[in-house]
């Protein structure tokens, strides 16, 4: 016997009904839009446009519990199973009700029986624990797909071309041949004794305090360290093809940067030390009191952050080449050529990073940020923090002082190093030996320019140094002529 429609709105569950305004339009109930409104216009791609619910004949919205149903029958079936309501259902007409979208809300028992009859599966309705487990599985699947997509994108990223591989191999070999102790630096390093450099002793004219014993130890390794940077640059064809004037400017600007980078990549978290020039392991306070001041903090922090990148020799070499070929240096002649050279190294660097397939998300942009940190944080942080002018050579005054102090005339520190034709270090040169090689004069010019600027910042007045400073441009020209003559 067919039932008459109730006064409830047809086509929805009782809890889905909402009041109507006098003009007949549906009002929102409890601040929520009706389910019908929220689903309007949504048709899954696997459904026909006019697909009907197999239970009540209303418009279907998809597969629910193994059957194509509407949202109303889906919700009714789910609530019935979750709350175990079906044992309480009854029918006044001996379970003979016809269920359609008009009558479906009038007999719960007949509606539930029809759900079972058309194939809706009770075992697919999840309880709270199963629902939580399902959501967790969904999140795991999403994460898996995200990682797979990342792997696919990495595989599709360009790797170095044959020409770039040649550039990479030259830079890598240049770094390895000029990097003291190579990969064995941990086994060959010597720790600076704890009693050296722990307490600043001598006050400098600018107010800084320096431990002279630590400073003396550092100056012993500065000359070979600078020489290795010069050797590295000379082994890069793009650098050697530049005019001598540009070579000097680039070396002045990058020397402290590259030495800082080489120290930072040799940070040891276990001992919290940096290994300078591949041989001397120092602690933060020792480096600070030995002449670098607040710059030492920046180098240590850079070392800590770079340790997570696990850079290999090639990546360090390319990063050095990028620092070397920087057009930020003032006074350059061949700016366009230097910029193109840096772009070539950057592109080869990026493609090599793709080749290594690092597991760190966004590895390349993060590494580029570290490159800028080498140039800005290390070299200018100290000057900005202490309100002093940054060096015109791009080197913090404290760093310039450490680079150049050992060339001040004094018998106890006068040890000159000579570069041979192959760019390797030779023995000490006696004072009566002359003339000096162009490479040696270039190295000495780098040193002298650093100490002159450091003394100018400290406010020292040395007439002999002033005379030397006034003739620096003439000396640069002489070095250029000598280098050109040897080419």
Please name the fold of domain 62-118: Erythroid Transcription Factor GATA-1; Chain A (3.30.50)
Write out pLDDT tens, residues 150-197: 777 666 678 899 999 999 999 999 999 888 766 666 656 667 665 565
Q: How many helices (H) and strands (E) does the chain have?
A: 18, 8
For residues 101 and 4, what is the distance between their CA atoms, to the nearest angstrom?
A: 13
For residues 295 and 421, what is the distance between their CA atoms, to the nearest angstrom?
A: 35
The bridge status of strand 267-268 relative to strand 67-69 is unpaired
For residues 266 and 321, what is the distance between their CA atoms, to the nearest angstrom?
A: 18
Q: What is the pLDDT of residue 420?
A: 34
For residues 309 and 407, what is the distance between their CA atoms, to the nearest angstrom?
A: 37
Q: What is the pLDDT of residue 210?
A: 63
Q: Provide the b/e sequence for 113-124 (b: ≥16 CB within 10 Å).
A: bbbeeeebeeee
Residue 128: band (very low, low, confident or very high) from pLDDT cuts 50, 70, 90: confident
Q: What is the pLDDT of residue 435?
A: 44
For 448, the token pair is 């002298």
Q: In this structure, are residues 45 and 145 in contact, taking their beta carbons and an 8 Å threshold?
A: no
The pLDDT mean for the chain works out to 70
Q: What is the pLDDT of residue 347?
A: 92
Write out pLDDT tens, residues 50-104: 899 999 999 999 999 999 999 999 999 999 999 999 999 999 998 899 999 999 9
> How many Cβ atoms sit within 10 Å of the Cβ of residue 267?
20
The alpha carbon dihedral of 244, 248, 254, 256 has a sign of positive
Q: What is the pLDDT of residue 486?
A: 47
Selection from 314, 345, 318, 342 nearest residue 328 by Cα = 342
For residues 230 and 252, what is the distance between their CA atoms, to the nearest angstrom?
A: 10
Q: Is the predicted pLDDT of residue 3 greater than 60, yes or no?
A: no
φ/ψ (deg, to 5) at 68: -85, 110
Sheet with 190-191: list strands edge to edge. Answer: 190-191, 280-282, 273-276, 267-268
HSE-up (13 A, CA, CB side) for residue 337: 13
For residues 9 and 13, what is the distance between their CA atoms, to the nearest angstrom?
A: 8
Q: Is the predicted pLDDT of residue 201 greater than 70, yes or no?
A: no
HSE-up (13 A, CA, CB side) for residue 22: 0
Q: What is the pLDDT of residue 12?
A: 39
Residue 356: band (very low, low, confident or very high) from pLDDT cuts 50, 70, 90: confident
Q: What is the pLDDT of residue 195?
A: 53
DSSP 357: T
pTM of the full structure: 0.52
Domain residue extents for the chain: 62-118, 130-156, 162-386+393-419
The alpha carbon dihedral of 410, 392, 398, 308 has a sign of negative
Q: What is the pLDDT of residue 233?
A: 93
Q: In this structure, are residues 354 and 153 in contact, taking their beta carbons and an 8 Å threshold?
A: no
Residues in contact with 401: Cβ distance below 8 Å, sequence separation at least 6, in sequence order = 291, 450, 451, 454, 458
Q: CATH number of 162-386+393-419: 3.10.180.10, 3.40.50.2030, 1.10.565.10, 3.40.50.1100?
A: 1.10.565.10
């Amino acid at each position: 016997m067919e039932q008459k429609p109730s006064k409830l709105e047809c086509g929805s569950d009782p809890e889905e009904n909402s009041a109507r305004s006098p003009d007949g339009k549906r009002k929102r109930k409890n601040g929520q839009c009706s389910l019908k409104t929220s689903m309007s216009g949504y048709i899954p791609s696997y459904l026909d446009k006019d697909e009907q619910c197999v239970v009540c004949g209303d418009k279907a919205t998809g597969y629910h519990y193994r059957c194509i149903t509407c949202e109303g029958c889906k919700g009714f079936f789910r609530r019935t199973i979750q709350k175990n309501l079906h044992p309480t259902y009854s029918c006044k007409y001996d379970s003979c009700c016809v269920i359609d979208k008009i009558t479906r809300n009038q007999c719960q028992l007949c509606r539930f029986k029809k759900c079972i009859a058309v194939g809706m599966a009770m075992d697919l309705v999840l309880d709270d624990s199963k629902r939580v487990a399902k959501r967790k599985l969904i999140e795991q699947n999403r994460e898996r797909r995200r990682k797979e997509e990342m792997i696919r994108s990495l595989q599709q990223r360009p790797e170095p071309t044959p020409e770039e591989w040649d550039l990479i191999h030259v830079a890598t070999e240049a770094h390895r041949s000029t990097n003291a102790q190579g990969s064995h630096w941990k086994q060959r390093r010597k720790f600076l004794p704890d009693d050296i450099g722990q307490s600043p002793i001598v006050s400098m004219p600018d107010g800084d305090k320096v431990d002279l014993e630590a400073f003396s130890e550092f100056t012993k390794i500065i000359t070979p360290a600078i020489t290795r940077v010069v050797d590295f640059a000379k082994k890069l064809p793009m650098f050697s093809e530049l005019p001598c004037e540009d070579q000097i400017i680039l070396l002045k600007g990058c020397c402290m940067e590259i030495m800082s980078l080489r120290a930072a990549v040799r940070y040891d978290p276990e001992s919290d030390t940096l290994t300078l020039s591949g041989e001397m392991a120092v602690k933060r306070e020792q480096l600070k009191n030995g002449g670098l001041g607040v710059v030492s903090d920046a180098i240590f922090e850079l070392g800590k952050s770079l340790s997570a990148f696990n850079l290999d020799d090639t990546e360090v070499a390319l990063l050095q080449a990028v620092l070397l070929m920087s057009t930020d240096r003032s006074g350059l002649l061949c700016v366009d050529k230097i910029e193109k050279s840096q772009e070539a190294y950057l592109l080869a660097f990026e493609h090599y990073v793709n080749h290594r397939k690092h597991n760190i998300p966004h590895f390349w942009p993060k590494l580029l940020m570290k490159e800028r940190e080498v140039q800005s944080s290390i070299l200018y942080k100290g000057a900005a923090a202490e309100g002093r002018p940054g060096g015109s050579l791009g080197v913090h005054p404290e760093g310039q002082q450490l680079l150049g102090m050992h060339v001040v005339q004094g018998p106890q520190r006068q040890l000159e190093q000579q570069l041979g034709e192959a760019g390797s270090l030779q023995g000490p040169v006696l004072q009566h030996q002359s003339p000096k090689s162009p490479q040696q004069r270039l190295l000495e010019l780098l040193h002298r320019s650093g100490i002159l600027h450091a003394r100018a910042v400290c406010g020292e007045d040395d007439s002999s140094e002033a005379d030397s400073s006034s003739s620096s441009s003439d000396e640069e020209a002489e070095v250029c002529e000598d280098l050109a003559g040897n080419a």
